[in-house]
Amino acid sequence: MDVKAILITGVQQPGVQSGGGAPEFVAGAPIATLDVLGSPLVVRVAEQLLAGGVSSVAIVSDADASCPAALRRDAARANVRFISAGGAQLWRECESIFQEFTDAELVIVWRMGAYAELDLGELVQAHIHQRSRVTQVCDPAGEGLGIFAISGSRRNDAAFLFRHNLQESRTPCSAYAAHGYSNRLRTAADLRRLTVDALHLRNRIHPIGREIKPGVWLGRGARIQKGARVLAPGYIGPYSLVRTSAVLTRCSVVEHHSQIDCGSMIEDSTILPFTYVGAGLDACHSIVGNRRLLSLRRNVEVEITDPRLIGMVSENAGVRTAVSMGALFSFLPRQIFRGVFAKSHREPPSLPEAVQTPSAALRETGTLQPSPDATQFPANMAVARRYGNE
């Protein structure tokens, strides 16, 4: 049986509410368009469908949503058609693509809110057995996942669904209960749970890269400087940089082209692509990207305006190269100047002189007096830093 698929991104499910920002969006972008362990989620779903026997997949993205610029390129790399349309034009594009797919016996229409791992053979058999025009995929509790299997010859039923934003059907839908892994991806916490489940091999999402040690994956071109620590499980995406003394722990993920500066600690967090995390910062139980920090424990999203704390790495390769070369050329002359003109180091004293000189600790010092404001020091100013291996 010839099966084709249409994946729709950037369209929110009506009536879904969540704190900390728009539902099904994280850092201003649709969750389905964000990278999970090296590849956008919608592209991963398309690849899973193609591997399961679907002959052709088209991604229709809402042009009004802030989708990553690299999404089109990632779709082309996976041999998936990509269309961007805004507003009502998006649903007209879906209807047009469905008409192109009329040579298929079955068309899967998937609004990329929830992530689900389907048994395509079982879905096709259920659709045929029930003699359905439209079959709606539900979770075991009977709640719809935004996935429909439509007979290719039923253009009127498909058009009715598209014109009602997949909320109403022309005739009653048959139900198919999916029993595989699923995640509704309504909040940032759902995205983190999907990532953690993938690192623990609980779903079909596998890290893109090589496993340099048990539970730690490194993408192509990624660098971990000497002195940095990555505790398993963890993932460093392609062309990312983790500088010295940085620590990644508790299923932390750094997506492609991101930078973690010296001494920072990333604990149970996801760093989205092209993100810079400043030196000496702790990002704990959060998602960081697009100059924003989302606290998972407090369900709050905060915009960071200081680029020294959280910034953006340029998506343009030429700009990144120019910045790196500029930093190198400014560093070398400074080091040469210091080596030539810096004052010479003081010669250490001779051994007899060092023995006869009294220790600084034995010299008389004034009696230390406590500050009159010591009792007014705020109790919350002292913070003990937690490390993942303690």
CB 58 within 8 A of CB 104: no
What's the domain count of the chain? 2
Residue 196 lies in a domain: no
The residue segments making up the domain with residue 227 are 207-312
Residue 189 lies in a domain: no
Query: In the listed set 264, 294, 312, which residue is the last one of a domain according to the structure?
Result: 312
> Do 262 and 154 lie in a common domain?
no
Q: Which amino acid is at 379?
A: A
> Do 139 and 264 lie in a common domain?
no
CA atoms within 13 A of residue 234's CA, in its CB half-sphere: 21
Cis amide linkage into residue 370, ω under 30° from 0: no
Residue 67 lies in a domain: yes
Query: In the listed set 312, 333, 358, which residue is the last one of a domain according to the structure?
Result: 312
- pLDDT reported for residue 315: 81
Tens digits of pLDDT across the chain (390 residues) = 899 999 999 998 766 554 445 689 999 999 999 999 999 999 999 999 999 999 999 999 999 888 888 899 999 999 999 999 988 899 999 999 999 998 999 999 999 999 999 999 999 999 999 999 999 999 999 999 999 999 999 999 999 999 999 999 999 999 999 999 999 999 999 999 999 999 999 999 999 999 999 999 999 999 999 999 999 999 999 999 999 999 999 999 999 999 999 999 999 999 999 999 999 999 999 999 999 999 999 999 999 999 999 999 988 766 555 555 555 456 567 667 667 666 655 556 555 665 566 655 455 545 545 545 444 544 444 444 554 444
Between CA 52 and CA 120 the distance in angstroms is 7
> Do 132 and 177 lie in a common domain?
yes
Residue 220 maps to which CATH number? 2.160.10
Q: Which amino acid is at 67?
A: C
Characterize the bridge pairing of strands 286-289 and 241-242.
Answer: unpaired
pTM of the model: 0.82
Residue 98 maps to which CATH number? 3.90.550.10
CB 79 within 8 A of CB 59: no
Between CA 308 and CA 349 the distance in angstroms is 43
For the chain, the farthest-separated pair of C-alpha atoms sits apart, in whole angstroms, at 101
> Do 224 and 115 lie in a common domain?
no
- What does the H/E/C string look like for the chain? CCEEEEEEECCCCCCCCCCCCCCCEECCEEHHHCEECCEEHHHHHHHHHHHCCCCEEEEEEECCCCCCCCHHHHHHHCCCEEEEECCHHHHHHHHHHHHHHHHCCEEEEEECCCEECCCHHHHHHHHHHCCCCEEEEECCCCCEEEEEEEECCCHHHHHHHHHCCCCCCCCCCEEEECCCCEECCCCHHHHHHHHHHHHCCCCCCCCCCEEEECCEEECCCCEECCCCEECCCEEECCCCEECCCCEEECCCEECCCCEECCCCEEECCEECCCEEECCCCEEECEEEECCEEEECCCCEEEECCCCCCEEECCCCHHHHHHHHHHHHHHHHHHHHHHHHHCCCCCCCCCHHHHHHCCCHHHCCCCCCCCCCCHHHCCHHHCCCCCCCCC
Between CA 116 and CA 183 the distance in angstroms is 6
> Do 233 and 158 lie in a common domain?
no
CB 289 within 8 A of CB 273: yes
Characterize the bridge pairing of strands 292-295 and 286-289.
Answer: antiparallel
The region, left, alpha or beta by phi > 0 then psi within -120 to 50, assigned to residue 221 is: left
Residue 390 lies in a domain: no
- pLDDT reported for residue 386: 52
Between CA 191 and CA 204 the distance in angstroms is 15
What number of other Cβ atoms are within 10 A of residue 312's Cβ? 14
> Do 9 and 122 lie in a common domain?
yes
Please state the separation of Cα 160 from the chain's center in Å.
34
- pLDDT reported for residue 369: 54
Residue 190 lies in a domain: no
The radius of gyration of the chain's CA atoms, rounded to the nearest angstrom, is: 27
- What are 204's two structure tokens? 């079909």
Residue 388 lies in a domain: no
> Do 169 and 258 lie in a common domain?
no
> Do 42 and 130 lie in a common domain?
yes
Residue 273 lies in a domain: yes
Between CA 211 and CA 234 the distance in angstroms is 10
Residue 216 lies in a domain: yes
**Which residues, at least 6 apart from 146, have a Cβ–Cβ distance to it below 8 Å?**
13, 110, 111, 112, 113, 114, 166
